[in-house]
């Protein structure tokens, strides 16, 4: 049988393919599953316009069968198959995609989207196989053909016997000894894992003969083994289902199944968008922060699917840092992917989705704050610090997104309150939002600096985390009310029995002597109009408060 050589460019491209385009060998299986699914989709489309064809869903499936002894892996589909010419065109010329041509000819609708477009996925089989055989019978032909290739040196095509329409692919799995091991692709469990990981939501059943163990009927202690055909993939992803059909438990199971976290999520957000960019997403607000959350090890990101096929485990671009705690996934048909599907080509679509998602998270948190206060406080205890870092890190750029999500402990309410709640309670004569910093609520309660403000009946926000005051400085104000530390020197509070000027005069020498004695610690000693029961108080002039100075001094240079 004459062998056709690959074209020179194809040869080079094939080498490139095998060695460098994909970072994980296991994705060959994703590519072959996608091709099989595309082939079945093509029959589905044909049936839409061809009355002689009926699309009976049960007849269409993909079957994966490993043969350990012969080191082969068989992948069969009942899709549209290939004619001899199509084999030449689509498998003989690298970077030629029959699926892309089909996509361009067919009006796609109904969410059935063909995955293929680059014409290279098929060749990824050579990453794990040293010989690939394709036996196919097209819906449009009575003859079947066999295509075979050992890689870069070319391929052969010859007539073959095959009764049913569809395609069988047989991979001769490499046997490279210890260094690189491909044996997982001959094992039931290994194959199942990879299929679940990348192809769980392929719309057609992916079947495998799975070994099942069962206690023998006459002797419970002995097991008998038998093979049972099972469908390995889930097929209909939860995010494509109707929200009204799903319960909280369904979402919680999905969260656990996906190992997004070991806690129970506080809230799920299910988004279906059918606008200029279409996507579905399920997002979760976790209840507790993972142990590495506030460390450099933590990686934010959402899973990214393209038409039900997993493209990326953690797409960081989908989440702003300050919502980095959100878990979940996004599936879109509208992404332009690069050739290996490991990266996105244009991030315009992704940016639109990310912005959309950010707004959804924000509005959901706001609703939670309004309607489920207790849950929100749980959330805030776990991730409030992240929100405050968010305000601080981008120089207040995210002010609009975050300021209404912040909470601080209130001196008068004795619980966490929002800035909005604070401002709406302010008496008319109060100009500032007052805050006091310290290690704990109890310690702040005892600060002499709080006395005058508290006496005036004004509410004080207690800052116990280092980031609090820094974040507030970035906010500058809330609803036009500026923030003011109770330890700043210009509190703008009238003390009725103010006699500081007299005291200043009377004690001029005492003050001068005190200043002299502690001149390395303070810049001035003055009479204060804010003291009531305490004899002395520390105050700061200008922007940097005493607490901030402490933090700044403790930071490594």
Tell me the binding residues for ATP.
31, 35, 77, 82, 90, 96-98, 117-122, 167, 341
Closest to Mg ion by CB, 200 vs 547, is: 200
Neighbours of 463 (CB within 10 A): 24
Radius of gyration (C-alpha) of the chain in whole angstroms: 34
**Pairing status of strand 62-67 against strand 206-215:** parallel
- By the 8 A CB rule, do 459 and 450 touch? no
Per CB under 6 A, 122 contacts ligand ADP? yes
- By the 8 A CB rule, do 65 and 73 touch? yes
Rounded least distance, CB 149 to ligand ADP, Å: 13
69 to 108: interface string for ligand ADP, x by CB under 6 A: --------x-xxxx-------xx-----xxxx--------
The footprint of ligand ADP on this chain (CB under 6 A) covers a number of residues equal to 23
Chosen from Mg ion, ligand ADP, none, partner binding at 90 (C-beta under 5 to 8 Å by type): ligand ADP
3-state secondary structure 173-201: ECCCCCCCCCHHHHCHHHHHHHHHHHHCC
Q: Which residue in the set 22, 29, 35, 79 belongs to the binding site for Mg ion (CB under 5 A)?
A: 35
Q: Report CA-CA distances (Å) from 125 to 20, 129, 169, 175.
A: 13, 6, 10, 14
For residue 344, give the 3-state DSSP assignment.
Answer: strand
- By the 8 A CB rule, do 422 and 430 touch? no
Q: How far apart are the C-alpha atoms of 349 and 331, rounded to whole Å?
A: 12
- By the 8 A CB rule, do 409 and 416 touch? yes
Which residue from 404, 430, 532 is spatially nearest to 484, judged by alpha carbons? 430
Per CB under 6 A, 35 contacts ligand ADP? yes
77 to 116: interface string for Mg ion, x by CB under 5 A: ---------------------------------------x
Q: Which of residues 459-488 bind Mg ion (CB under 5 A)?
A: none
Chosen from Mg ion, ligand ADP, none, partner binding at 280 (C-beta under 5 to 8 Å by type): none
Q: Which residue in the set 6, 41, 71, 119 belongs to the binding site for ligand ADP (CB under 6 A)?
A: 119
Quickly list DSSP for 354-370.
Answer: HHHHHHHHHHHHHHHHH
Dihedral angle over CA of 172, 173, 177, 181, nearest 10: 180
Rounded least distance, CB 74 to ligand ADP, Å: 12
150 to 189: interface string for ligand ADP, x by CB under 6 A: -----------------x----------------------
- By the 8 A CB rule, do 142 and 83 touch? no
Rounded least distance, CB 28 to ligand ADP, Å: 10
Binding part of the chain for ligand ADP, among 28-36, 364-372, 384-392, 459-467 by CB under 6 A, reads: 28-36
Q: Quote the tokens at residue 277.
A: 């960019």
Chosen from Mg ion, ligand ADP, none, partner binding at 208 (C-beta under 5 to 8 Å by type): none
Closest to ligand ADP by CB, 9 vs 413, is: 9
The residues of the shown chain that bind Mg ion, judged by CB under 5 A, are 35, 116, 121
The residues of the shown chain that bind ligand ADP, judged by CB under 6 A, are 31, 35-36, 39, 77, 79-82, 90-91, 97-100, 116-122, 167
């Amino acid at each position: 049988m004459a062998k056709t050589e690959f074209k020179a460019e194809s040869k080079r491209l094939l080498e490139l393919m095998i060695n460098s385009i994909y970072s994980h060998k296991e994705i060959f299986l994703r590519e072959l599953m996608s091709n099989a699914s595309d082939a079945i989709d093509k029959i589905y489309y044909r049936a839409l316009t061809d009355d002689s064809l009926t699309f009976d869903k049960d007849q269409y499936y993909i079957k994966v069968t490993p043969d350990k002894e012969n080191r082969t892996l068989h992948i069969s589909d009942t899709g549209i198959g290939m004619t001899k010419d199509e084999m030449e065109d689509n498998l003989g010329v690298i970077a030629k995609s029959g699926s892309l041509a089909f996509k361009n000819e067919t009006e796609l609708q109904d969410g059935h989207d063909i995955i293929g477009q680059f014409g290279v996925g098929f060749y990824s089989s050579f990453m794990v196989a040293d010989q690939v055989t394709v036996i196919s019978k097209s819906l449009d032909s009575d003859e079947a053909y066999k295509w075979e290739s050992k890689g870069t040196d070319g391929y052969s095509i010859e007539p073959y016997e095959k009764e049913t329409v569809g395609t069988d692919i047989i991979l001769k799995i490499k046997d490279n000894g210890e260094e690189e091991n491909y044996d997982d692709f001959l094992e039931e469990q290994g194959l199942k894992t990879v299929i679940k990981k990348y192809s769980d939501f392929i719309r057609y059943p992916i079947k495998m003969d799975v070994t099942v163990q069962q206690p023998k009927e006459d002797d419970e202690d002995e097991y008998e083994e038998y093979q049972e055909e099972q469908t390995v993939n889930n097929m209909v992803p939860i995010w494509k289902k109707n929200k009204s059909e799903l319960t909280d438990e369904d979402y919680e199971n999905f969260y656990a199944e996906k190992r997004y976290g070991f806690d129970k999520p506080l809230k799920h957000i299910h988004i279906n968008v059918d606008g200029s960019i279409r996507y579905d997403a399920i997002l979760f607000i976790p209840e507790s922060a993972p142990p590495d959350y506030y460390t450099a090890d933590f990686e934010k990101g959402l899973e990214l699917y393209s038409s039900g096929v997993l493209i990326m485990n953690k797409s960081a671009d989908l989440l702003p840092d300050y919502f980095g705690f959100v878990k979940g996934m996004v599936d879109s048909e509208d992404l332009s992917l690069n050739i290996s599907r490991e990266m996105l080509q244009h991030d315009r679509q992704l940016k639109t989705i990310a912005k959309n998602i950010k707004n959804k998270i924000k509005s959901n948190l706001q609703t939670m704050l309004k309607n489920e206060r207790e849950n929100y406080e749980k959330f805030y205890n776990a991730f409030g610090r992240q929100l405050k870092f968010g305000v601080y890190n981008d120089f207040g750029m995210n002010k609009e997104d975050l300021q209404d999500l912040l909470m601080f402990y209130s001196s008068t309410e004795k619980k966490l309150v929002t800035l909005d709640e604070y401002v709406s309670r302010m008496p008319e004569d109060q100009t500032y939002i007052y805050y006091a910093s310290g290690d704990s609520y109890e310690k702040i309660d005892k600060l002499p600096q709080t006395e005058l403000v508290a006496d005036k009946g004004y509410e004080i926000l207690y800052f116990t985390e280092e980031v609090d005051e820094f974040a507030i400085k970035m906010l500058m104000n809330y609803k036009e009310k500026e923030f003011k530390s109770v330890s700043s020197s210009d509190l703008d509070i009238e003390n009725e029995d103010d006699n500081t000027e007299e005291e200043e005069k009377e004690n001029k020498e005492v003050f001068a002597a005190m200043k002299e004695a502690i001149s390395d610690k303070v810049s001035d000693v003055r009479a204060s109009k804010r003291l009531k029961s305490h004899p002395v108080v520390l105050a700061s002039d200008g922007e940097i408060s005493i607490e901030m100075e402490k933090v700044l001094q403790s930071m490594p240079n």
